[in-house]
């Protein structure tokens, strides 16, 4: 039997105590697709606190596209995450914060978090932020990040969290795209051995952001901080000055009022502002967090993702807090101060559920089992992964070494666009196979289509993964560009939502995501568009034209290979490579820096001028002999030069 078809049944002890078993999953799933409105109406009633009930569960049309859930309903997300828990969980830890240095921790109870969010909401109001206004959040992984998000949700402001590893330009572009009036940041961030000058980056960005009126600064460190007195305020000082009766009320929001915008890379152009709305998103993350992680009252749940990504939104902050769970916010790195850090955190905080990305697991596999075994992991009962396909070897290591062969693994497939998990095992219901995200969750109706958009039925088939029915957490539009929303997701296969992923459905009906089929890269779980990286490379002034492809990378899963045609009189040397890397880091982020830069004199193009990426991908993967048909190229000779260049040049760094 091949490794990847090995079946891991639900451990008996886990299954007996789980909230959902195989029979109840099958029954609930059937109900959710035969009567979606009945199913979701019931879930919305049971799982959420409403200010006013909805009049219509769902209105949808994938042509226009129009998606509305729970119309007529009134709700506030922060009340669902905080106020409703005060009666029974006021002294329960809402957040356990583990700071950059081991043992630097803080616990925030539901009572304290509620009070802090109310005060911050009042502060935002006093700064003139109103319902519908956009607020940018550029913070490290500190409790204040969750507080800022919840405070926005409380007053109906739309937050856009920007990953604190992004550059000033990237931050500026996001702020300007959605016209934020307020920016919330920290003076500095700490990531492992490095201090990140967040406020300096903000100063640089905001200099070109005409809509920003105020910058609110959390004091994370004692470092000297460049403040602009008319524009900038220290968060702690502003809170202290707030009158005792300041208005921290929860705004009554329509179900479809926007909650947040999160920028994500696509195959073309600039990152898109993915817009999520209030009630449907909240219901989706509440239900999926509860079901996928089998959440129980005394769980200590840890998702290692950053709040700058959608996983941080849905499964560090909103899902866990809506369920009244204890969520660990982890500021540091998996390898700081050493490769045992995750397990040290698990040990000291008695973490029961641990959720991370395959890239982190692969990096730790390399460091050896001793780092894991050094710590007590007996508290763990469930493990999860997200962000990219997990290779069976990494899965098996995670299962055997981290989970002592005792903990089920949930491999959760979803996207920024989907808001929450769509395909995943339920740990008490689904036997798992290493590398497969297994089965659709409630209400999720996946279909595979061929290149012509024809549905491929039956099992043991492969195609492109689409969805034929809406789910509550799906994005509603691209901020400010509804046509781009339609074009990107609904035009390729009319009547279907196209995910951008390729997928196999095996003999048992299990789904195996094979990766992106568009020009989107997944580098260490981070999404990057090839076009975005290419234009950053050209910005260096050294390169006339660039083409970027994904290349195999041991740890990151996918690395970036850049084919560059240099401008006249630019030398093919180390200084040029350095210049290109520097520019990409500045324009996007170090995440986007190529792992290989190949200088070539021309790119393989069709006669109509289209770059044949298929060829570059093959060469980048080291498949020099099977580049395929080159007869349609304007100049087939470029291929041999490209092959020779790649053969002769190793990766820049491992």
Using CB under 6 A as the binding rule, whether residue 513 contacts ligand 7RM is answered as yes
Count Cβ atoms within 10 A of the Cβ of residue 283 and give its class: 0-12 exposed, 13-18 middle, 19 or more buried: buried
Q: Which of 386, 439, 566, 584 binds ligand 7RM (CB under 6 A)?
A: 386
Q: Which of 225, 323, 412, 558 binds ligand 7RM (CB under 6 A)?
A: 412
Binding part of the chain for ligand 7RM, among 137-145, 293-301, 408-416, 636-644 by CB under 6 A, reads 408-416
Binding part of the chain for ligand 7RM, among 102-110, 386-394, 440-448, 623-631 by CB under 6 A, reads 386-394
**Residue 181 vs 436, nearer CB to ligand 7RM:** 436
Which H or E run includes 331?
Answer: none
**Residue 260 vs 413, nearer CB to ligand 7RM:** 413
Q: Which of 331, 388, 518, 595 binds ligand 7RM (CB under 6 A)?
A: 388
Using CB under 6 A as the binding rule, whether residue 286 contacts ligand 7RM is answered as no
Helices in 539-637 by DSSP H: which ranges? Answer: 574-587, 613-620
**Residue 114 vs 516, nearer CB to ligand 7RM:** 516
Alpha-carbon dihedral of residues 59, 60, 65, 71, nearest 10 degrees?
20
Binding part of the chain for ligand 7RM, among 211-219, 406-414, 572-580, 632-640 by CB under 6 A, reads 406-414
The site string for ligand 7RM over 75-94 (x = CB under 6 A, - otherwise) reads --------------------
Total of chain residues touching ligand 7RM, rule CB under 6 A: 22
For residues 562 and 386, give the distance between their C-alpha atoms in angstroms, rounded to a whole number: 26
Query: What part of residues 519-558 is at the interface with ligand 7RM (CB under 6 A)?
Result: 522, 527
Binding part of the chain for ligand 7RM, among 94-102, 211-219, 510-518, 531-539 by CB under 6 A, reads 510-518
CB 302 within 8 A of CB 316: no
Q: Nearest 5°: phi and psi at 121?
A: -60, -45
For residues 179 and 265, give the distance between their C-alpha atoms in angstroms, rounded to a whole number: 19
| 389 secondary structure, DSSP code | P
Binding part of the chain for ligand 7RM, among 62-70, 185-193, 383-391, 556-564 by CB under 6 A, reads 383-391
At its nearest, how many Å lie between ligand 7RM and the CB of residue 416? 3
CB 164 within 8 A of CB 189: yes
SS3 sequence of 263-311: EECCCCCCCEEEEEEHHHHHHHHHHHHHHHCCCCCCCEEEECCCCCCHH
Using CB under 6 A as the binding rule, whether residue 161 contacts ligand 7RM is answered as no
**Residue 470 vs 473, nearer CB to ligand 7RM:** 473
Using CB under 6 A as the binding rule, whether residue 416 contacts ligand 7RM is answered as yes
Binding part of the chain for ligand 7RM, among 92-100, 197-205, 326-334, 384-392 by CB under 6 A, reads 384-392
Using CB under 6 A as the binding rule, whether residue 464 contacts ligand 7RM is answered as no
CB 544 within 8 A of CB 565: yes
CB 513 within 8 A of CB 503: yes
Query: What part of residues 212-271 is at the interface with ligand 7RM (CB under 6 A)?
Result: 264
CB 466 within 8 A of CB 453: no
546 forms beta bridges with: 564
Q: Which of 203, 277, 311, 438 binds ligand 7RM (CB under 6 A)?
A: 311
Alpha-carbon dihedral of residues 620, 621, 625, 629, nearest 10 degrees?
-70
Q: Which of 99, 258, 387, 550 binds ligand 7RM (CB under 6 A)?
A: 387
Q: What is the DSSP string of 127-170?
A: TT--TT-EEEEE--SSHHHHHHHHHHHHHTPEEEE--TTS-HHH
At its nearest, how many Å lie between ligand 7RM and the CB of residue 520? 7
Binding part of the chain for ligand 7RM, among 36-44, 150-158, 513-521, 601-609 by CB under 6 A, reads 513-521
Using CB under 6 A as the binding rule, whether residue 437 contacts ligand 7RM is answered as yes
CB 162 within 8 A of CB 138: yes
Site of interaction with ligand 7RM (CB under 6 A)? 264, 310-311, 386-389, 411-416, 437, 499-501, 513, 515-516, 522, 527
């Amino acid at each position: 039997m091949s490794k990847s078809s090995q079946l891991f049944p639900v451990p008996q002890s886990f299954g007996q105590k789980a909230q959902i078993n195989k029979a109840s999953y099958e029954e609930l799933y059937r109900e959710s697709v035969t009567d979606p409105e009945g199913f979701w109406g019931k879930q919305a009633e049971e799982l959420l606190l409403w200010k006013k009930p909805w009049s219509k569960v769902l209105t949808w049309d994938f042509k226009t596209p129009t998606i509305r859930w729970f119309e007529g309903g009134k709700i506030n997300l922060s009340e669902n995450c905080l106020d409703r828990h005060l009666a029974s969980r006021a002294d329960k830890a809402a957040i356990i914060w583990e700071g950059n240095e081991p043992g630097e921790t803080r616990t925030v109870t539901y009572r304290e978090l509620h009070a802090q969010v109310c005060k911050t909401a009042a502060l935002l109001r006093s700064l003139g932020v109103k319902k519908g206004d956009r607020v940018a959040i550029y913070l490290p992984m500190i409790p204040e990040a969750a507080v800022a998000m919840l405070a926005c949700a409380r007053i109906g402001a739309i937050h856009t969290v920007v990953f604190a590893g992004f550059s000033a330009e990237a931050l500026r572009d996001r702020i300007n795209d959605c016209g934020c009036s307020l920016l919330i940041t920290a003076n500095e961030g700490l990531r492992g051995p490095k201090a990140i000058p967040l406020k300096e980056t903000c100063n640089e960005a905001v200099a070109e952001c005409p809509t920003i009126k105020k910058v609110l600064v959390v004091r994370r460190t004692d470092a000297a901080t460049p403040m602009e007195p008319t524009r900038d305020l220290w968060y702690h000082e502003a809170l202290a000055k707030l009158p005792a009766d300041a208005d921290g009320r929860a705004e009554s929001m329509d179900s479809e009022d926007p909650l947040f915008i999160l920028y994500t890379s696509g195959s073309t152009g600039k990152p898109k502002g993915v817009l999520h709305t209030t009630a449907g998103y909240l219901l989706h993350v509440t239900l999926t967090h509860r079901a996928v992680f089998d959440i129980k009252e005394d769980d200590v749940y840890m998702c290692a993702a950053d709040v700058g990504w959608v996983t941080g939104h849905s499964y560090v902050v909103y899902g866990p807090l809506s369920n009244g769970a204890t969520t660990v916010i982890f500021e540091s790195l998996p390898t700081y101060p050493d490769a045992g850090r995750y397990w040290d955190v698990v040990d000291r905080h008695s973490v029961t559920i641990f959720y991370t990305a395959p890239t982190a697991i692969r990096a730790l596999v390399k460091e050896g089992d001793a780092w894991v075994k050094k710590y007590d992991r007996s508290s763990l009962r469930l493990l999860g992964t997200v962000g990219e396909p997990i290779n069976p070897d990494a899965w098996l290591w995670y299962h055997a070494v981290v989970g002592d062969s005792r903990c089920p693994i949930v491999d959760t497939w979803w996207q920024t666009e989907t808001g929450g998990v769509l395909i995943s095992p339920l740990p008490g219901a689904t036997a798992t196979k290493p590398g497969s995200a297994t089965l659709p969750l409630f209400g999720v109706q996946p279909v595979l289509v061929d290149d012509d958009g024809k549905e491929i039925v039956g099992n043991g088939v492969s195609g492109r993964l689409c969805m034929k029915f809406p789910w509550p957490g799906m994005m509603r539009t691209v901020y400010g560009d509804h046509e781009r929303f339609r074009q990107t997701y609904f035009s390729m296969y009319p009547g279907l939502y196209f995910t951008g992923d390729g997928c196999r459905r095996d003999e048992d009906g299990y789904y195996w995501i094979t990766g992106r089929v568009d020009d989107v890269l997944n580098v260490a779980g981070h999404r990057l568009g090839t076009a975005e990286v290419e234009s950053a490379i050209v910005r260096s002034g050294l390169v006339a034209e660039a083409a970027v492809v994904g290349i195999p990378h041991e740890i990151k899963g996918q690395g970036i290979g850049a084919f560059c045609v240099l401008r006249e009189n630019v030398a093919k040397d180390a200084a040029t490579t350095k210049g290109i890397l520097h520019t990409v880091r500045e324009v996007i982020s170090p995440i986007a820096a190529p792992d290989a830069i190949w200088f070539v004199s021309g790119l393989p193009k069709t006669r109509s001028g289209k770059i044949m990426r298929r060829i570059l991908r093959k060469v980048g993967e080291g498949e020099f002999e099977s580049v395929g048909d080159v007869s349609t190229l304007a100049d087939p000779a470029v291929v041999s030069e490209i092959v020779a260049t790649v053969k002769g040049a190793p990766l820049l760094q491992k």
